[in-house]
Amino acid sequence: MQLERMDAFFYAKAEIYDSHMLKELQLEVFYKEIAECFPAGNAEPALLDLGIGTGLELERLFAKFPGLKVTGIDISQGMLDLLYKKYPDKNITALCGSYFDIDFGKDKYDFALSTYSLHHFGEAKKTKLYRKVFDALRRDGIYVEGDYTCKTPEEQEKYIKESEQLYNKNNIPEGFYHYDIPFTAEMQMKLFKSAGFSDVKIIREWENTSIIKARK
Ligand SMILES: C[S@@+](CC[C@H](N)C(=O)[O-])C[C@H]1O[C@@H](n2cnc3c(N)ncnc32)[C@H](O)[C@@H]1O
């Protein structure tokens, strides 16, 4: 199997990323559903975006909330350069680094979002991260995650085992390589609840992708 480092993988793909996602994978509907998850009403909501990339998920959110204040985290500077080029006049603070290392602060955000980024990581890392997201949200804040999921616990187990073997064999930390470990939507919901979220709901499910919404 040809493996690539996570940061190098996204750096190399940055220029073709948007057309791959929108045209080849036809993800317009996905991003439309993502925007609909966030309730209208707040004129200038603060959003934390984990793995913001080139910000495909933001176009409809800016249309719905013109005063949206975005803090986006991404490990790939190439993706962030394109993000700034795409939204030159929007209120975006982009931090280049890993969302596992960066401090999110407490009670700072109305919304948090992650699209197509967290399926590279295992249970322990995600659990800690969801607690950080929970703490970073204000009361009644909304977290939405749209990501690859698998259908059965058996498939999930297979991905987890393969990734553990890969990382143990090469003696490298999890998430170093671009390698997919999709969980079932049910497992994701369990992780959100154990981080403290309530009102955890599947908003939409496709063959290999789910959108899940949770409330602080
Ligand atoms: C498939 S892209 C998704 C980008 C965007 N959210 C979207 O929906 O188009 C995944 C992004 O997650 C970023 N990423 C992967 N691991 C990360 C980490 N540990 N910390 C921050 N960003 C990470 C990658 O650099 C990449 O830009």
- Per DSSP bridges, beta strands 46-50 and 69-74 are parallel
Q: What pLDDT shows up at residue 50? A: 98
- Percentage of the residues of the chain whose pLDDT score is greater than 70: 98
Integer CA distances (angstroms), 152 to 3, 75, 158, 185, in order: 25, 30, 10, 9
Integer CA distances (angstroms), 27 to 1, 21, 56, in order: 27, 6, 10
CB of 175 within 6 A of ligand 1: the answer is yes
Burial (0-12, 13-18, 19+ Cβ within 10 Å), 50: buried
The three-state secondary structure class of 5 is strand
Domain 6-215 fold: Rossmann fold (3.40.50)
Residue entry with tokens 């059965």: 152
The yes-or-no verdict on residue 2 having pLDDT over 70 is no
**Residue 69: strand pairing partners:** 46, 91
For the ranges 16-20, 113-117, 140-144, 212-216, which has the lowest average pLDDT?
16-20
Interval between CA 200 and ligand 1 midpoint (Å): 23
Interval between CA 142 and ligand 1 midpoint (Å): 20
Pick from 79, 58, 86, 80: which is nearest to 70 by CA? 58
Q: What pLDDT shows up at residue 23? A: 73
pTM of the model: 0.93
Interval between CA 139 and ligand 1 midpoint (Å): 26
Average pLDDT on 52-65 reads 96
- Percentage of the residues of the chain whose pLDDT score is greater than 90: 76
Q: What angle do CA 91, 14, 77 make, to 5 degrees?
A: 55
CB of 145 within 6 A of ligand 1: the answer is no
What one-character-per-residue DSSP string does 135-194 give? HHEEEEEEEEEEEEEESSHHHHHHHHHHHHHHHHHHT--TTSB----PEEHHHHHHHHHH
The residue ranges of every structural domain in the chain are 6-215
Q: What pLDDT shows up at residue 5? A: 76
Interval between CA 41 and ligand 1 midpoint (Å): 28
Integer CA distances (angstroms), 191 to 135, 194, 208, in order: 15, 5, 19
Q: What pLDDT shows up at residue 12? A: 77
The yes-or-no verdict on residue 148 having pLDDT over 90 is yes
Interval between CA 58 and ligand 1 midpoint (Å): 14
CB of 6 within 6 A of ligand 1: the answer is yes
Q: What pLDDT shows up at residue 54? A: 95
Work out the pLDDT band at 56, boundaries 50, 70, 90: very high
CB of 98 within 6 A of ligand 1: the answer is yes
Residue nearest (by alpha carbon) to ligand 1 atom 14: 51
